[in-house]
């Protein structure tokens, strides 16, 4: 899917994660579509008023983090230890400033935590127990553990727990079989500035302490006004080794192709033999929109002054 947005106009694209189809998704298609619609509208509203791309991205991702149907924020997956560990990142294409956090607990909106870190003079990327303390110091809203443990994610946790032996290791093959999910957004504002953000609740029954792609600048998130804004989703281990978000933007830079062409080259050609799920959304500096994925589904939505849409399957 490639669309061109005239320069001077605005655009936003959001995603709710690329991955395998599921009974839960099929049973809640209206809720997924509503969540995507609310997210893309929240970001577009800011852009329409002349707001910045970075604010639009934060607003869109916050909506998805607050929606229990998506694997981020409130709907985050439960680790093998029975808790929630979230990862997030955000980047401003104009200033090249970024913020990121890994293994985040109890922060209601991790994307806002990442955005707050953009202006911190000491920290840009923080994780673990200190992440929570840092978030509190920055005035971020927190919630008790019970807020994040939804009925659906607890059911998924119980299913996985019943399959696993007492002694387990972080084998790569095990992660590839697990249900995962991510949310993200990219935006272009009226001044021609780009931004991208990504947030995830991780993978079901993941080994505690596992860090995926979503908190990594250049992997899950990348934005540069000279090239493109990209948010990635899928199996983190593959995205990490491919430095996926930057790889897509660099393909735009070095070949002069559109963001859609770059995504097709990186996901469908360069990585055509990968066994895992890969997906991305993006907007390039010329205003082209790109969406690509190799999985069974990738929930996504987009809006420009002339076009809008919501799709989940191909």
Q: Which residues are 217's β-sheet partners?
A: 221
d(CA 31, CA 66): 13
Nearest to 18 by CA among 247, 184, 181, 177: 181
Decide: 194 and 228 in contact? Cβ < 8 Å. Answer: yes
Q: Which residues are 284's β-sheet partners?
A: 228
Residue 88 appears among annotated catalytic residues: no
Classified as helix, coil or strand, 187 is strand
d(CA 281, CA 301): 10
Residue ranges with strand state E in 153-239: 183-188, 194-200, 221-223, 228-234
d(CA 14, CA 161): 32
Decide: 221 and 249 in contact? Cβ < 8 Å. Answer: no
Exactly one of 88, 105, 150, 182 is catalytic; name it.
182
Tell me which residues are annotated as active site. 182
């Amino acid at each position: 899917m490639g669309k061109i947005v005239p320069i001077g106009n605005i655009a936003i694209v959001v995603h709710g994660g690329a991955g395998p189809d599921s009974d839960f998704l099929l049973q809640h298609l209206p809720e997924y579509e509503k969540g995507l619609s609310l997210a893309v509208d929240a970001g577009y509203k800011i852009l329409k008023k002349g707001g910045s791309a970075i604010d639009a991205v934060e607003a869109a991702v916050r909506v998805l983090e607050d929606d229990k149907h998506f694997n981020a924020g409130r709907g985050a997956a439960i680790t093998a230890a029975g808790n929630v560990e979230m990862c997030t990142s955000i980047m401003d294409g104009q200033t090249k400033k970024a913020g990121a956090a890994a293994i985040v607990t109890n922060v209601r909106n991790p994307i806002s935590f990442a955005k707050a870190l953009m202006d911190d003079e000491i920290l840009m990327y923080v994780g673990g127990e200190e992440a929570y303390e840092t978030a509190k110091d920055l005035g971020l809203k927190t919630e008790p553990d019970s807020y994040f443990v939804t009925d659906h994610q607890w059911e998924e946790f119980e299913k996985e727990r019943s399959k696993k032996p007492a002694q387990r290791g972080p084998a790569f093959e095990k992660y590839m079989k697990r249900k995962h999910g991510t949310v993200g957004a990219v935006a272009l504002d009226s001044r021609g500035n780009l931004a991208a953000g990504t947030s995830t609740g991780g993978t079901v029954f993941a080994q505690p302490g596992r860090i995926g792609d979503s908190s990594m600048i250049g992997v899950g998130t990348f934005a540069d006004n000279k090239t493109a804004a990209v948010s990635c989703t899928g199996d983190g281990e593959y995205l990490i080794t491919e430095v996926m978000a930057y790889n897509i933007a660099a393909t735009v830079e070095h070949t002069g192709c559109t963001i859609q062409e770059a995504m097709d080259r990186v996901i469908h050609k360069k990585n055509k033999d990968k066994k895992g799920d890969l997906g991305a959304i993006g907007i390039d500096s010329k205003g082209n929109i790109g969406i690509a994925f190799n999985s069974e589904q990738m929930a996504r939505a987009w809006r420009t002054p002339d076009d809008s849409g919501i799709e989940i399957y191909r």
